[in-house]
Amino acid sequence: MCSYCGCDSIEVIGRFMAEHVEIINANGELRAAVHAGEAEALEAARSVVAGLLWPHTVAEEVGLFQVMARDEVYASHIASLCAEHESLAVHLAAITPGDDAAMTLFENELRDHIDKEDNGLFPAAAIALGGPEWIEVHEITPHSHDGDTPHVHPAPSGHTHQDEPVAAGHPGGSAL
């Protein structure tokens, strides 16, 4: 997690960084289940990771990513991060009991992806976006209230993922 620029003091970035910590912590249970070779424990742990990861990636893509991608300086990097979300879905789904190699692949990709956001995109966003953009990010970013189903404030324009599944499956709509 970035600790040098203070970008985590921006509400949505602080939230995303805190969610990264939750996802990594849940990943520890997934790793333990894979190593133990227990299918039921693996599915339970995978469900927890997916239940944290997919609402998180949807929120990033619908909010911050959408606003930042309007600037051609960030557009290709944002597209790359979105592609990594897709890849994470594939790698998470491929993990089977006892398959430490698949688990390591997923975990390394997850940590690398989080590093790109925490130490690259989020500090850049803190510098690049102004007040009106942050208001828009806040308004269009899905969020939960006390464990309720995530929802999206109406977007001023453009496509959002608000009608796509967020808890059971990947943002692209495929179930895990």
Give the ranges where 37-154 is alpha helix by DSSP (H).
Answer: 39-60, 66-68, 72-94, 100-116, 122-128, 131-140
Residue at 136 is within a domain:
yes
Tally Cβ neighbours within 10 Å of residue 21.
12
pLDDT at residue 4, rounded to an integer? 59
Domain contains 68: yes
Structural domain containing residue 44: 9-140
Q: What is the mean pLDDT of residues 6-30?
A: 87
Residue 1 confidence (pLDDT): 47
Q: pTM of the predicted model, to two decimals?
A: 0.79
In a domain, 163, yes or no: no
Domain count, the chain: 1
Identify whether 101 is part of a domain.
Answer: yes
Residue 148 lies in a domain: no
Q: At residue 168, does pLDDT exceed 70?
A: no
pLDDT at position 11 is 82
**171, part of any domain:** no
Distance separating alpha carbons of residues 5 and 126, to the nearest angstrom: 9
Token reading at 126: 């803190």
Taking the mean position of all CA atoms in its chain, how far away is CA 136?
19
* Strand, coil or helix: 175: strand
Whether residue 120 lies inside any domain: the answer is yes
- Cβ atoms 133, 64 nearer than 8 A: no
Q: What is the pLDDT of residue 140?
A: 94
End-to-end CA distance of the chain: 27
For 176, other C-beta atoms within 10 Å of its C-beta total 18
Question: Of 8-17, 91-100, 120-129, 138-147, which gets the smallest average pLDDT?
Answer: 138-147
Compute the mean pLDDT over every residue in the chain, rounded to the nearest whole number. 82
Give yes or no for a contact between 68 and 121, defined as CB atoms under 8 angstroms apart.
yes
40-65 per-position pLDDT tens digit? 999 999 999 999 999 999 999 999 99
* CATH number of the domain that residue 105 is part of: 1.20.120.520
